[in-house]
Amino acid sequence: MTVTIVGSQLGDEGKGGIVDVFGDPVDVVARYQGGDNAGHTVVHEGDEYKLSLVPSGAVRGKIGVLGNGCVVNPATLFEELDGLRERGLDPDVRVAERAHAILPYHRVLDGIEEDVKSDEDLAAGTTGRGIGPTYEDKAGRRGVRIGDLLDPEVLRDRLEYVVPQKRALLEDVYGIDVSDLDDPDAFDVDALFERYRTFGERLAEEDMTVNCGEFLAGRLDDGEEVMFEGAQGTSIDIDHGIYPYVTSSNPTAGGAAVGTGVSPGVVGQGEVIGIVKAYLSRVGTGPLPTELGSVDGQTPPDGGRPEEADLAEYIRDEGGEYGTVTGRPRRVGWLDVPMLRHAARANGFTGLAVNHLDVLAGLDEVKVGHAYELDGEELLTMPPTTEKWGDCEAVFRSFDGWPDVDWAAVADEGYDAIPENARAYLEYLEDELDAPVYAVGVGPGREETIVVESPF
Ligand code: IMP
Name the amino acid, one letter, at 40.
H
SS3 of the chain: helix, strand, coil, percent, to 5: 40, 20, 40
CB 123 less than 6 A from any atom of ligand 1: no
Does the pLDDT at position 120 exceed 90? no
Asked whether residue 74 carries a pLDDT value surpassing 70, the answer given is: yes
Give the lowest-confidence range in 8-12, 17-21, 212-216, 390-394: 17-21
Does the C-beta of 275 come closer than 6 Å to ligand 1?
no
40 is catalytic: yes
Q: How far is the CA of 153 from the centre of ligand 1 (A)?
A: 34
Confidence of residue 45 (pLDDT cuts 50, 70, 90): confident
Mean pLDDT, rounded, for 11-18: 91
Distance of CA 124 to the CA centre of its chain: 15
Ligand 1 centroid distance, CA of 221 (Å): 35
| C-alpha of residue 230 to centroid of ligand 1, in Å | 13
Rounded percentage of the chain residues whose pLDDT exceeds 90: 88
Q: Is the peptide bond before 244 cis (omega within 30 degrees of 0)?
A: yes
Measured CA to CA, the distance from residue 138 to residue 385 in angstroms comes to 25
DSSP state of 223: T
Residue 138's SS3 state is helix
- What pLDDT score was predicted for residue 117? 83
Given the residues 20, 36, 40, 110, select the one marked as catalytic.
Answer: 40
- Taking the C-alpha atoms of residue 136 and residue 77, their distance in angstroms, rounded to an integer, is 21
pLDDT value at 325 more than 70: no
Q: Using CA atoms, how far apart are residues 216 and 208, in angstroms rounded to an integer?
A: 14
Among protein residues, the one with the nearest Cα to ligand 1's atom 5 is 126
> Distance (Å, rounded) from C-alpha 389 to C-alpha 235?
12
Enumerate domains of the chain plus CATH numbers.
2-95+210-274 (3.40.440.10), 101-203 (1.10.300.10), 276-451 (3.90.170.10)
Cα atoms found within 13 Å of the Cα of residue 421, Cβ hemisphere only: 17
pLDDT confidence bin for 125, thresholds 50/70/90: confident
260-313 pLDDT, tens digit each: 999 999 999 999 999 999 999 998 889 999 999 999 988 999 999 999 999 999
